Chain A
Amino acid sequence: MSALSAHVLDEIKALPARYPQPRSAVMPALDLAQEELGHLTSEAMTEVAGALQLDPGYVQGVATFYTLFHLEPVGQHRFYMCTNLSCTLRGAEDIVEHLRGAIGVKAPGEVSGDGLFSYEEVECMGACEYAPMLRLDHRYHYDLTREKIDHLVAERRSPRADAVSESGPEKPKRAPRRRAPKQDG
């Protein structure tokens, strides 16, 4: 059975036409695969390679280079916690420690028992004026405190887990996912 569903593979096959050279489709294609599965499995990368007529090793080489591609299962909600200098100066380390406790994991990449959460320590995300900050569910969250972390976690544990608190100026809603992601763990 194939890892990716037929309609995702069709979408991937249509991508190369959008670029001056078809190879540019590799990252958008991996995006689609990751969006469906939550992370990139070897089978998924092989299928992406097949759909784009590229060598599987090549596709894997691209996927391993960039930090936004996940090769291991991750939580349904991923905290990307900035620990670069501006955020560290304003207490990022304390926030990371608190976050670990709040979601019940010990190390970056570990998935919480309920499969809901994981976190990563990442480099500067270009919102240093709001330090300490993190990215969660495609949105930035600013001026973090322990209370804010608790709130973000509780919000996602509650039945209305789709109610994403927002930051930034008025914004359009993110396009709905094509299909609910499978839950890992």
Chain B
Amino acid sequence: MAEQRGTVGGPVLTAWFATPNLHTLDVYESLGGYAALRKVVTEMTAQQVIDEVKISGLRGRGGADFSTATKWSFVPKAHPGPKYIVVNADESEPGSAKDRYLMENSPHALIEGAAIAAFAIGGHQAWIYIRGEYDLPYELLRDAIAQAHEKGYLGEHPFGSDHPLDVRLYRGHGAYICGEETALLESLEGKRAQPRSRPPFPAVKGAWGMPTAVNNVETLSTVPWIIRHGGAEYAKRGTEKAKGTRMVTVSGDVRRPGNYEIEIGVTYRHIIEELAGGALPGRTLKVFWPGGSSAKVLPASMLDTSTDLDGLKALGTMGGSGGIIVMDDSHCMVKAAARLLRFYAHESCGKCTPCRVGTNWSVRTYERILANEGSEIELALLDRVSQGLQNGRCLCGLGDAAGWVIESTMRHFRDEYEEHCLHHACSVQGALAHA
């Protein structure tokens, strides 16, 4: 068994994580699991469920940060055919590993949350689209779903009610773009995962052409707690504008990398220095990405930034998927940026020209720079390409994210870029040898 990294037994999502075998139905239930689903299907109306989640202030934890209750209420009530909940379990934002952690530890919480969500939109089926590499979470979920069916918690008459509920699994096959909700829907329908232009929005025309709400794993795993304890109890946590708790993954150059559940509003200093133990011996922190590689990088001087929305927005960045990547003074910013651009170029789905061409151009530019063939021309070129990738020129967020990597690393570390481009040197002596 792998050593568990991060807080075990936090306030909400991880409250039960210290209990062994939480992934089995018996243990989950002995702690109070499935009480929320029982209550929902036997005592509540769909609107009451939505209202409770609205009171909680829960917002999407996949990166978009949109009100969960509002998203559910966009699904038209009167639609005569099927309506779906689709769970985005295709976590692949570099730096983010929280959904894997949640599914490995508590698969039933996700299943219970997904079933509650299906009920809330007046639907009967939730589809968990799980990334193909997640073998263990897949197997745990598959078995957990079977257990829930056996006990009669899912199926034609869950808890004796007349509202059929089912949760099903669909495996992704390795494409970062599936994290984008419309690309994910294309993939679920058996197509290449390329984002759809919107409108129509998924709430109107989503999976298989039917009204659909797409939710993240963490978001739905929170829902049973909210129903059990009440939305108001959840809303007591966090800040006025950003309520509740959330998972963060800390990786990179820290002493205790791991998944941690935090109350929204704590600072990055608290997460990185206290929870994750701070810099490695003899090193100083240089930068951190506050929300996966797609969030603009911040220098360590900004560690006191708050994890709430306003703190991050003021700096033009975001909490995204909660993946905090930390890098110390042994690593070169230009090489790190080059590595990330290679990732975006590889994952660009190719649908929009600025993204397809821009990411590849920048990879080649970085290659020249790192081969000591850079000059002022390369500096100017990176500036231009980064602008061309941003500001709504692309259909989905991937183009922006790639542009932000270039722009934010150049903004804070212009000196390192100049050193590489103008002096063909690198004063950072570190491991990131060849990006």
Which A residues are CB-close (under 8 A) to B433? 93
The count of residues in chain B whose C-beta lies closer than 8 Å to any C-beta of chain A is 69
Which of B59-67, B89-97, B360-368 touches A? Answer: B89-97
Q: B431: which of A89, A129, A166, A170 is its contact (CB, 8 Å)?
A: A89
Q: Is B132 an interface residue (CB 8 A)?
A: yes
Q: Is B434 an interface residue (CB 8 A)?
A: yes
Which A residues are CB-close (under 8 A) to B104? 168-169
Which B residues are CB-close (under 8 A) to A66? 132, 172-175, 193
B104 to chain A, nearest CB (A): 6
* Contact B92–A126 (Cβ < 8 Å): yes
Q: Complex: how many Å from CA A174 to CA B208?
A: 30
Question: With contacts A27-B173, A123-B346 known, is A131 near B91, CB below 8 A?
Answer: no
* Contact A128–B95 (Cβ < 8 Å): yes
Q: Is A91 an interface residue (CB 8 A)?
A: yes
Which of B36-44, B113-121, B335-343 touches A? Answer: B335-343
Which B residues are CB-close (under 8 A) to A20? 82, 207-208, 210
Which A residues are CB-close (under 8 A) to B173? 27, 30-31, 66-69
Q: Complex: how many Å from CA A19 to CA B327?
A: 44
Q: Is B171 an interface residue (CB 8 A)?
A: yes
Which of B136-144, B230-238, B310-318 touches A? Answer: B136-144
A123-135 interface code vs B (CB 8 A; 1 in, 0 out)? 1111111110001
Q: Complex: how many Å from CA A93 to CA B340?
A: 15
The A-contacting residues of B in range 339-366, CB under 8 angstroms, are 339-340, 343, 346-347
B109 to chain A, nearest CB (A): 14
Which of B48-56, B153-161, B251-259 touches A? Answer: B251-259
Q: Complex: how many Å from CA A28 to CA B188?
A: 11
* Contact A129–B190 (Cβ < 8 Å): no
Q: Is A161 an interface residue (CB 8 A)?
A: no
Q: Complex: how many Å from CA A126 to CA B178?
A: 14
Which A residues are CB-close (under 8 A) to B339? 84-85, 88
Nearest B residue to A20 via CB reads B208
Q: Is A23 an interface residue (CB 8 A)?
A: yes
Q: B95: which of A24, A122, A124, A168 is its contact (CB, 8 Å)?
A: A124
Question: With contacts A27-B171, A85-B252, A89-B432 known, is A130 near B139, CB below 8 A?
Answer: no
Which B residues are CB-close (under 8 A) to A169? 1-2, 4, 23, 104-105
Q: Is A2 an interface residue (CB 8 A)?
A: no
Question: With contacts A26-B190, A129-B97 known, is A67 near B5, CB below 8 A?
Answer: no
Q: B208: which of A21, A25, A124, A125 is its contact (CB, 8 Å)?
A: A21
* Contact A85–B336 (Cβ < 8 Å): yes
* Contact A85–B293 (Cβ < 8 Å): yes
The B-contacting residues of A in range 83-134, CB under 8 angstroms, are 84-86, 88-91, 93-94, 122-131
Which A residues are CB-close (under 8 A) to B99? 126
Q: Is A148 an interface residue (CB 8 A)?
A: no
Q: Complex: how many Å from CA A72 to CA B189?
A: 25
Q: Is B145 an interface residue (CB 8 A)?
A: no
Q: Is A79 an interface residue (CB 8 A)?
A: no
Which A residues are CB-close (under 8 A) to B250? 129
Which A residues are CB-close (under 8 A) to B143? 172
Q: A24: which of B188, B249, B331, B340 is its contact (CB, 8 Å)?
A: B188
Nearest A residue to B340 via CB reads A85
Q: Complex: how many Å from CA A126 to CA B92?
A: 6
Nearest A residue to B350 via CB reads A65
Q: Complex: how many Å from CA A140 to CA B259?
A: 17
Question: With contacts A124-B94, A169-B23 known, is A88 near B1, CB below 8 A?
Answer: no
Can you identify 20 A-B contacts, CB atoms within 8 angstroms? A21-B190, A24-B170, A65-B192, A66-B174, A66-B193, A85-B293, A86-B94, A89-B252, A89-B325, A89-B331, A93-B433, A122-B174, A128-B97, A129-B259, A131-B257, A139-B135, A140-B135, A167-B2, A169-B23, A169-B105
Seen from chain A, the residues whose Cβ lies within 8 Å of a Cβ on chain B are 19-21, 23-28, 30-31, 61-62, 65-69, 80, 84-86, 88-91, 93-94, 122-131, 135, 138-140, 142, 166-172, 174
